[in-house]
Amino acid sequence: MYALNFDPDVCESCETCDCLMKCQYLAFDLEAAKIEKARINRGEDSRVLTDCATCYACEEYCPNGNHPFYLIVERQEEKGILPAPGPITRQQVLMMKPRGTITPMKVKAPVIDMCYFPTLVGSIRAPLYENPSIIVGSDVFCNIMWLHFARNSVIRDQLPKIIDNIWHFYLKDSGVDELVCFHDECYATFTHLAPAFNIPVPFKAIHVFEYISGRLEVLKDSIKPINARVAYQRPCSNRLIPETQHWVDDIFEKIGAERVERAYDRENALCCGQVLRAHQREEMADDVQTRNLKDMRATGATYCVFNCPACMATLAEAAAEMGMFPIHLSDLCQHVLVGNASKG
């Protein structure tokens, strides 16, 4: 059940092997890359399975949509290869498991899905969000993070129930069929991962940045542009949904922010490093974070803008130490709206 949509023949005819050739963490020449990819495809041992940083980027790099990263995770689990220590993996699964405390609630559009970030609910307020309904909690947690822990089995087990929770406890009886995903990962889960595993999703997911861009258009007369250079931290989950990148540019344009050109943005974005620490790869995490932050600082950016709350929790302090104001993109947009800006 919920088989992965992977076709080995597609890889056979792939000439570029971009999934491995473009990898930021493992180095190959083309011949070696093709050999390793074939090993992975056949279910054999490969150093990729033990050394993968689980940054999701190869899902973006693959020109054929043949899910190279999801396959890596499948193989890791089949072979009992754990990126993170066993106790940490098992504890994380327990920590994030659904509590079963969800109760029916009438909602109306826009329904903002806050995943399992109850502490961020305060960000969902006027004027940027207009009369939102908010859903949050362990019973709506998207579960995509198990990709970092070689636990597709947990995704297969939990995600259908989560989708069912959202649909039956909130959306269906309220006559709402759209869900605004605050977290990039949730949007990626419903629009990319679920289809890849043939898990049906009865509602339409909307990326929060699409929603915000629309709201900024409506509220354009209330915008006090920040006229600042901003460094953007593109999260790993966005590799699954690169088609949403343009919303970020749209938003920055509307609020008067210049998204600085830098080495580690867009297709070359770096993982925030927190998962590498979970994998006990401290020195690699140090290196990745240092390169990323120095790259940001070199641009003279005054803001370090985040999409993902986990990236922000990981890098905010270091960004502030480097003289940048760390802020989530949603909060930055709230800040530029007149009425909010004066509250300082």
Q: Contact positions toward other proteins, by CB under 8 A?
A: 82, 84-88, 90-91, 94-95, 274-275, 277-278, 280, 282-283, 286, 310, 313-314, 316-317
**Minimum distance from residue 89 beta carbon to other proteins (Å):** 8
Contact present, 107 and 133 (Cβ < 8 Å): yes
Q: Could you tell me the maximum CA-CA distance found in the chain, to the nearest angstrom?
A: 60
Collapsing DSSP to helix, strand or coil, 165 comes out as helix
Q: Residue 264: CB partners within 8 Å, gap ≥ 6?
A: 270, 291, 292, 295
State the nearest-atom distance from the C-beta of 317 to other proteins, in Å: 5
The three-point CA angle 315-242-313 to 5° equals: 15
C-alpha span between 173 and 107 (Å, rounded) = 9
Of 261 and 344, which has the nearer Cβ to other proteins? 344
Using the minimum distance from each CB to other proteins, give the nearer residue, 88 or 121: 88
Minimum distance of other proteins from residue 169's CB (angstroms): 22
Closest to other proteins by CB, 83 vs 110, is 83
Nearer to other proteins, 92 or 213 (CB): 92
The total number of residues shown for the chain amounts to 344
* Least spacing, CB of residue 293 vs other proteins, in Å: 13
Distances (CA, A) of 113 to 139, 308, 312, 336: 11, 14, 19, 23
**Three-state DSSP class for residue 181:** strand
Q: How far is the CB of 87 from other proteins (least distance, A)?
A: 5
Of 84 and 135, the one with the shorter C-beta distance to other proteins is 84
Nearer to other proteins, 53 or 201 (CB): 53
Distance CA 203, CA 167 (A): 7
Least distance in angstroms from the C-beta of 322 to other proteins = 13
